[in-house]
Chain A
Amino acid sequence: MESFPILSLVLWLPTLGALALLAVPRDNAELARRIALMVAVLTLLASLALPLGYAPAAAASDGSLALQFVERVPWLPMLGASYSLGIDGVSLWLVMLTTFLLPIVILSTWDSVHKEVRNFQILMLLLATAMIGVFVAMDLLLFYIFWEFTLIPMTLLIGIWGGSNRVFAARKFFLYTFSGSVLMLLAIIGLYVLNREALAAAQPGYPGTLDISAIAANLRSGVFRLDPAMERLLFGAFFLAFAIKVPLWPFHTWLPDAHVEAPTAGSVILAGVLLKLGSYGMIRFNLTLFPEAARWAAPAIAVLAVIGIIYGAIVAFAQTDMKKLVAYSSVSHMGFIVLGIFALNRAGVSGAILQSINHGLSTGALFLIVGVLYERRHTRELAAYGGIWKVMPVYGGITLLVALSSAGLPGLNGFVGEYTIMQGAFLAPELGWPFLGFAVFGVVLAAVYLLRLYQTVFMGELDNPENQGLQDLNRRELVTLAALCVPIVALGLYPAFALGPMQASVADVVNGLANTVAGRIDLLP
């Protein structure tokens, strides 16, 4: 429909920027930062065409996904693999989140990255391409390549620019998330082979396909049927990879280590976008391709999600390191997202997508905020602070706004997402009110740990002499944080702006769930 390859442009622009940075002398930090920032802003501007040109479309009648900005070039014809890009309502805002956070993160490196600046920017831009690639790739092989490629820059960012225990954290991050995705590769191959065999029976010489949309269409039309046991197996293999990435309790222990050691910019990207790869994958693969298994597993997964919500909150409460506190709060918040996804209805899934965006914004902002203090005092211990609202009033105000957004105050973005998710879970016949009785407890605890953080750091007496000379935000920091506050407020007051375009695609996913299950109930034992 669109002749201009806008998705490719958004996808590869950061990589082009990274290549251009190679020409910059290694020790010219300022130039490297400026070029990187320019590239990031250009990417953001290019990506603005996506929501502007996005026309919510109804699902195609053959069951394939209603994708837009589609690009498809054959790549390995004998495997049925193609360079296939496209977005729908599920991925649209996640791409926007990525392109929006990129310039912010790069802007923050002025204050937080001081060695090997050029290489840092190169890795950051490569990471951006990989992340966008995961969201826009509509070919299983391409998806998998981008998926694994996100690991490399991130591991290096942690391992080179991280804190004192960075090598351990980087290794743990890499091995943990990688071991999860290896099973996914197996499942991708399995899906490909099964699909080919199923269709080759009818059309001899069928080369098979790795196109997600085509496989979904085959599954929905019944041409390609999965044995229930096999479907659950494939579901599990995909799910494990995503659950580790999200991370779902009890697969979360890589996250605090990675966050604590990662540089500020790395933490922002990690919490802001990388975790969303998991929730995106759950919707795109687990729900779309394996509806029956999703329904089968939903209660168990929801139990894990609810445990994660409460567990993450309680553990966050007991932390003394600010970054660790925020990291565990992510575990809690991502539990909400998983709960919403496996509510398996429109409210739950759209709430989960919205909350993915919200979490990216508020937790990203929280990491930036912790970074601001860390750059000034070089400690993240809560006990080292107290009463700094007095010397840093603007900083205190912004922190409060972000913390409240994270705690789910109505009028700010976090509430809308959480409430929609909870309503979805309440309406889901598989889940219902007993789950909510516990999940809503997480809302209380969010206020407890975030306000405790706020109380110890910002309120009380300014009794530590080292804190008395703290400077309020400089202009760059202010711009960075203010840029994050705008969507935090806007999405709280007018979330329909984001929710509207995703409805058609969400409805498509949810209807697919209902139809496929209804059509094959006789196959189940």
Chain B
Amino acid sequence: MEWLIWLIPLLPFVGFLLNVFVIRHERPAGLVASGLVAASFVVAVTAIAMLAGLPEEERRIISVGWEWINAGDLRVPFGIMLDPLSAVMVLLVTGVGALIHFYSIGYMHGDARVVRYFAYLNLFVTMMLFLVMGNNMLILFLGWEGVGLCSFLLIGHWFERKSAAAAAVKAFVVNRIGDAAFILAMLAIYANFGTLNFYEVTVAGEVQPGFLERVPEIIGQSFGPSWQPIALATGISFLLLIGATGKSAQFPLFVWLPDAMAGPTPVSALIHAATMVTGGVYMMTRTEALFAASPATQTWVLWVGALTALIAGTAAIAQWDIKRVLAYSTVSQLGFMVAACGMGAYVAAIFHLLTHGIFKALLFLGSGSVIHGTHDTQDMRKMGGLRTAMPTTYWTYLVGAGALAGIVPLAGFWSKDEILAHALSHNHWPQLIILFLTSLLTAFYMGRQVALVFFGTQRDTHYHAHESGRVMTVPLIVLAVGAVIGGAINLPWGHWLTDWLHPVLHEEAGSFNPVLALIATAGAVGMSYLGWWLYTSNAAKVKVGGKDPAYRYTGDIWDGLEEAWYVDRLYERVIVQPFRGLGDFLARVFDPQGIDGLVLGIGRFFGWAGAQVRELQSGYVRTYALVFTAGVVLVLSFMLIFTR
């Protein structure tokens, strides 16, 4: 039984190895990659069925492969586990992952490096599975950095484009900043608990404790200078939060995600919407005990999430690129999940994570279908009226947009409502208002996007729009079905997900507030209509390369929104350029002239001294004799004086 869960990550890994070392052609590459991820999904379902068969308290399968690090004070096993929380993540990763693999067969057809693409995609799934199945922080981190690597590779898949290369590096580096904090958090966890395991595990006959079970031990402990002690739990959880802001694209580290859209669209769907970016949320949910021990950090988490949701939501309404709208929308929705974590509503966060994973994948794949059908057009100003040319895409996209906007009874409504209801019932008023405003913005920009892409008339007629092939539309339909019924897993009346996660999170189902639901639904419908109406009635004013109709009302603020409040530019000025300057100064001035100057100066001093002493060698024999005689007199005098 235990060995079975190893198959889940290893099957995609086999696909990776095959695609790297064996397969050289497009067709087998796509089939092997998709088939193995699908197989992994099947294994996962089997394993979860077995898991469900266990009594509730025992639903945790841990399997240790070998001792990974054994360096005296530091011992970490290489082990994976499957528990209810991992299980839902595994289902999302392998399920959506398999669909996106299939979709890629169509989308990437004819690409020059398609075999490599599938290899990366397989590696990504492997790493994502390690992330969600790791039984200790270090394995989680292995997956964490591994998915970052795959993100780098896939964003940079078309590395000939300078922007893609730059975006790939930017994504990796910004993530690394969060990862550094993550590393520090792991160091602190190990230093204080003596283990990185989440739960107790037996390695080679020796019982190693799990730190999540020992969190109460550090409550009340603090570190730092005596005049400003910091609670240990706050320190650790805050570092984890920074780690999560990197991976889950939260303020202030969200800047990499919009640029990451330079990668192929299925990649955006899988990595930059459905799975990888949710890694931070998963991690915070997993280490929920640590966050619970620190109210200070919880407040930070809540504010980070809410502010990110708002900032990204405002940025999303002003984008022209079909994928950048979705990218900022993703950042915004991740903000919802992080805010839910900050409120302690972890089930709601995971619920929203799952539904968002489905409908955002649907939206990205739909946009991919649009891009594919319009011959690599991404600017929405060049689109319009596509609903006739691409009916399947249109309908499925509409479902996704509705789910995102929170229209009853689509999946997004239920999960978003659960977060808002939790905020209301726990009196997080400022955050509730921010999140509510954001959800209105969400409805507005989705209305705007649907109007711009599918309604009106085609503004740029240089291409002939066509519907995508079956291999691409079938995944769309499957996901659309998911987006419709996905909310059913945690309806206010059934709360099946809450029960399933109970062994891990120990949460009770939240209360359903009909008034709030009604207001939210009305707002969503109203704002969607507003967005749709504004951009269908003003469709004539949308010109290729022109300004947005809303620019008339908002003025230059709109430009600010389009640039996401200039955060990127701020970093460029405040961090990147000074860093380059410092590097240049150290490398061209300080190192060669300062440090090496000192070293060479010592050498030069001896050279100079030698030149001076050389002058004494006049070449006159008589001068040498004179010095010699002086020496003789000196030595003789010495002997006369000091010897008896």
Contact = CB atoms under 8 A, between A and B. Distances in A.
Say if the two chains contact directly (CB < 8 Å).
yes
Interface of A: 172, 175-176, 250, 252-254, 311, 314-315, 317-319, 328, 345-347, 349-351, 354, 387, 389-390, 393, 404, 409-411, 415-416, 419-420, 422-424, 426-427, 433, 436-437, 440-441, 443-444, 447-448, 451-452, 454-455, 458-462, 493-496, 499-500, 503, 506-507, 510
Contacts of B433: none
B159 interface: yes
Interface in B461-475: none
Contact of B168 (A347, A424, A433, A459): A459
B71 A350 contact: yes
B176 A447 contact: yes
B73 A347 contact: yes
A319 B587 contact: yes
Interface string B114-152: 001000000000000000000000100110111001001
Given A315-B591, A451-B169, A494 B66 contact: yes
A411 B584 CA distance: 33
Contact of B142 (A387, A410, A455, A499): A410
B187 interface: yes
Interface stretch (B487-495, B556-564, B595-603): B595-603
Given A433-B188, A460-B159, A318 B69 contact: no
A219 B160 CA distance: 63
B183 A459 contact: no
A387 B587 contact: no
A437 B159 contact: no
Given A175-B603, A351-B71, A460-B159, A422 B183 contact: yes
Contacts of A499: 69-71
B70 A496 contact: yes
Closest 8 CB pairs of A and B: A346-B72, A318-B583, A459-B165, A318-B587, A459-B159, A253-B596, A347-B73, A410-B142
Given A443-B183, A451-B173, A510-B72, A410 B160 contact: no
Contacts of B591: 253, 315
B156 A315 contact: no
Nearest to A442: B180
Contacts of A437: 184
Contacts of B190: 423, 426-427
B588 interface: yes
A495 B173 CA distance: 26
15 contacts: A175-B603, A253-B591, A315-B586, A318-B583, A318-B584, A346-B72, A387-B159, A410-B142, A410-B144, A422-B187, A441-B180, A459-B159, A493-B68, A503-B70, A503-B72
B223 A433 contact: yes
B587 A315 contact: yes
A325 to B, nearest CB: 10
Contact of A433 (B184, B587, B595): B184
Given A433-B223, A448-B176, A493-B78, 9 more contacts: A314-B586, A411-B146, A423-B74, A444-B179, A444-B180, A455-B165, A455-B169, A493-B68, A495-B69
Interface string B472-491: 00000000000000000000
Contacts of B164: 459
B621 to A, nearest CB: 34
Contacts of A451: 152, 169, 172-173
Contact of A461 (B142, B160, B169, B596): B160
Contact of B71 (A172, A314, A317, A420): A420
Contacts of A461: 160-162
A460 B71 contact: no
Contacts of A317: 579, 583, 587
Interface in B586-631: 586-588, 591-592, 595-596, 599, 603
Nearest to B159: A459
A423 B187 contact: yes
B160 A419 contact: no
Nearest to B119: A397
Given A410-B146, A433-B223, A451-B173, A443 B70 contact: no
B389 interface: no
B518 interface: no
Contacts of A346: 71-73
Contacts, number: 166
B582 interface: yes
B644 interface: no
A424 B74 contact: yes
B177 interface: yes
B522 interface: no
B159 A389 contact: yes
Interface string B565-586: 0000000000000011011101
Interface in B290-313: none
A460 B177 CA distance: 24
A424 B73 contact: yes
B42 to A, nearest CB: 26
B166 interface: yes
A160 to B, nearest CB: 22
A495 B68 contact: yes
B71 A253 contact: no
Given A410-B146, A436-B187, A495-B68, A427 B595 contact: no
Nearest to A253: B596
Contact of A253 (B78, B588, B595): B595
Contacts of B162: 460-461
A317 B579 CA distance: 10
A496 B67 contact: yes
Given A253-B591, A423-B187, A460-B159, A314 B72 contact: no
Nearest to B148: A409
Interface in B182-215: 183-184, 186-188, 190-191
Interface in B41-88: 66-74, 78
A254 B591 CA distance: 11
A224 B508 CA distance: 69
A459 B583 contact: no
Contacts of B168: 455, 459
B74 A410 contact: no
Nearest to A317: B583
Contact of A444 (B70, B72, B173): B173
Given A416-B69, A424-B74, A506-B72, A410 B587 contact: no
A440 B599 contact: no
B586 to A, nearest CB: 5
A440 B596 contact: no
Contacts of A389: 159
B586 A318 contact: yes
Contacts of A176: 599
A423 B193 CA distance: 13
A409 B188 contact: no
Given A314-B583, A354-B71, A503-B70, A410 B180 contact: no
B239 to A, nearest CB: 10
A432 to B, nearest CB: 9
A387 B73 contact: no
A444 B180 CA distance: 7
A262 B410 CA distance: 66
